[in-house]
Structure 1
Amino acid sequence: MADASKTTNRVFLWTVGRSLSTVFTKCLSFVDGIQIINEPFNVAHTCGPERLQDDGSRIQAKFEATLNTVLSAVSSSSTGYDVNLSTYDWVKKMLEADYPGKQIVFCKDFAFALRENYDWIPQGYRHTFLIRDPWKMFPSFKKGWVKLFQDSSLKYQELPAQLNPPKHAFGELYELYQYVQDYGLEKDPIIIDADDLQRDPGSILPQYCKAVGIPYSENLLQWEAGAKVIDSWKIASIFMEGNKMEEDEFYDAAFSSTHFLPPGDPPSQDQIDEDLLPLIDKSMGYYDNMYAARIKPE
């Protein structure tokens, strides 16, 4: 195989859940000559042959049942790749593969899905990061799982290990951010904050694109509604089928979007479920350190 890293511009966006990463990825899908790869490590982590399982979780059985429901809906005609292929070694090779006719490969994924095994990081990529205020991220994340599992009594700490990593996603993201600097993978990683992106996309988006070598046009500030764009993504079929489920709300807003909406205010403490407060408290230090190093609106 040729050294594709020398012939193709490759960019990785590492993030946490509910951070506007899908709408950001949808936006970049309209760049000419780009290949989007969506959450391949997350697929391996949650759904693939080497997926993490937590038999002690009250919700684990519901998670497995939901997973099986989606898998049963996947057919030979389904779009996307087979989740059974998704070992970590397969994902790394897929990320490093050649993509004829593509000038840019852009992948977004969750740092916690690496399980702190940095040997799985693919070669040839620029590493960038997207963060979001934990006061916004955790309530949004919990709301989605409460709806999916149809369990209003669900506490965040009851989520299976696949969905609630030991350092609650922000710790894993910050440690990866430090790793890529300490080991020379990225000297000054680009960080964008979701609120900044929503508030001033006309400043943040061109700065990001320029920094990582993605062609920018003001046309990227407005795009088509709907999920048709993901037909061109490299994405697991289980995610494609899961998005069609009526109870799913994780991607609906992103796929129906046509532009970045202004950010809302974070909820006050008395509006936050008590089970989320310790997670927010543990995550704020990681978030604040990365926020201080973010690119700012000009």
Structure 2
Amino acid sequence: MKIAMWSGPRNLSTAMMYAFGNRADTRVVDEPFYGAYLHHSNADHPMRAEIMASMACDPVQVSAELSGPVPGGAAIWYQKHMTHHMLDHFPMDLLAQLRNVFLIRDPARVIASYARKRADVTLYDLGFVQQKKIFDHCVALGQVPVVIDSDDILADPKSALMELCLRLEIAFDPAMLHWPAGPRAQDGIWAAHWYDAVHRSTGFGPAPGPAPRVDADYDALWHQAQAIYEQLQAAK
């Protein structure tokens, strides 16, 4: 089985990759379209040159690799995808071959977390528009995508992951709840900039408290993202 987890940044996505990566039957890949996204856009991301040099930058090639055999002959291939990496002209036929899951998060939490890492935040950076587009494409294919909220995972990791595994028709593995601290061999080269918190973790964090107040400068951005978030949340 090939599981594609589609999320925006700052959305528990790396912790989820570590959870699945801790299963004995699973191989993981970290943001395989990142290099292609940087190569085909003007995005000025930290470590831009290093990222592009570290991975394939042709989206057609990346799609072909993700459609191929599961590495090591594992039963499950967990693919961590950032929705904003899928530019409009990238092929989307890959989606028909994947079990697509959408990891969503309260936009106020996403904006607050992202703004701590980058000074300028746009709706496109947060991936909400692209997430809804990919979701709608999956529905048009006749799929019933799984939607899971990061707040629900943090509130009760075991119950949330058991439910996710049930919907994916795979066995729940308790090893998903805890992992060793530190980096992973599967981490993208960008981990040095983005993964400091998850590298200190050994499991999912505490249950979320109240959502932070959004700075007035981001109010319009929040309203746009919130509308999409609510549409996806209704599909849980």
Work out whether the TM-score is over 0.5.
Answer: yes
Q: Could you report, residue by residue, the CA deviation over 1:148-203 in whole angstroms, capped at 9, with x for unpaired residues?
A: xxxxxx3425xxxxxx628x51111112111101122x2x2111101000001111
Which of 102, 121, 130 lines up with 1:172 in the alignment?
A: 130
2:80 to 94, 108, 120: 108
**1:96 maps onto 2:44 in alignment:** no
- Alignment map for 1:1-298 (pairs within 5 Å): 9-46=1-38, 50-53=39-42, 60=44, 63=45, 66-68=47-49, 70=50, 82-83=54-55, 85-98=56-69, 99-117=71-89, 119-122=91-94, 123-145=96-118, 154-157=119-122, 165=124, 168-184=126-142, 186=143, 188-227=144-183, 230-231=184-185, 233=186, 239-240=188-189, 242-244=190-192, 248=193, 250-261=194-205, 262-268=207-213, 272-294=214-236
- Please state how far the C-alpha of 1:207 moved relative to its aligned partner: 0.9
Query: In the TM superposition, what is the alpha-carbon distance from 1:118 to its structure 2 partner?
Result: 6.2
| Amino acid aligned to 2:124 | P
SS of structure 1 residue aligned to 2:134? helix
Amino acid in the other structure paired with 2:229: Y
Q: Summarize the Cα distance change of 1:19–1:71 in structure 2 as closer, same or farther, 3 Å threshold.
A: closer
Q: For residues 180 and 120 of structure 2, what CA distance do their matches in structure 1 show?
A: 36
Structure 2 unaligned residues grouped into runs of 5+: none
Give 1:218 deviation, angstroms: 2.4
Q: Secondary structure at the match of 2:229?
A: helix
Give the AA of the match of 1:101: G
Contact 2:59 2:91 in 1 (8 A): no
Q: Distance in 2 between matches of 1:71 and 1:220?
A: 28
Shift of 1:260: 1.3
Deviations 1:244-272 (A, max 9, x none): 3xxx2x2111122112122132112xxx3
Q: Percent identity?
A: 23
Deviation per residue, 1:28-87 (Å, 9 max, x gap):
1111121101111123102xxx33016xxxxx4xx47x434x469x8xxxxxxx33x321
Q: Which of these two proteins has the greater Rg computed from alpha carbons?
A: 1
Give me the whole-angstrom Cα distance separating, in 1, the residues matched to 2:191 and 2:78: 21
Note the C-alpha offset of 1:133: 0.2
The runs of at least 4 consecutive aligned structure 1 residues that moved more than 4 Å come to none
Per the normalisation by structure 1, the TM-score is 0.72
Distance 1:220 1:287 in 2: 26
Relative contact order, higher structure (CA 8 A, sep 6+): 1
Work out whether residues 27 and 77 of structure 2, in 8 Å CA contact, stay in contact via their aligned partners in 1: yes
* Equivalent position SS for 1:19: coil
Task: Give the whole-Å Cα distance in 2 for the aligned partners of 1:101 and 1:175.
Answer: 31
CA distance in 2, matches of 1:256, 1:132: 21
**Shift of residue 18, structure 1, vs aligned partner:** 0.5
User: Partner amino acid for 2:219?
Assistant: L
TM-score (norm 2): 0.89
Alpha-carbon offset, residue 214 of structure 1: 3.1
**Amino acid of the residue matched to residue 12 of structure 1?**
A
Preserved CA contact (<8 Å) 1:136 1:266: yes
CA contact (8 A) 1:33 1:103 kept: yes
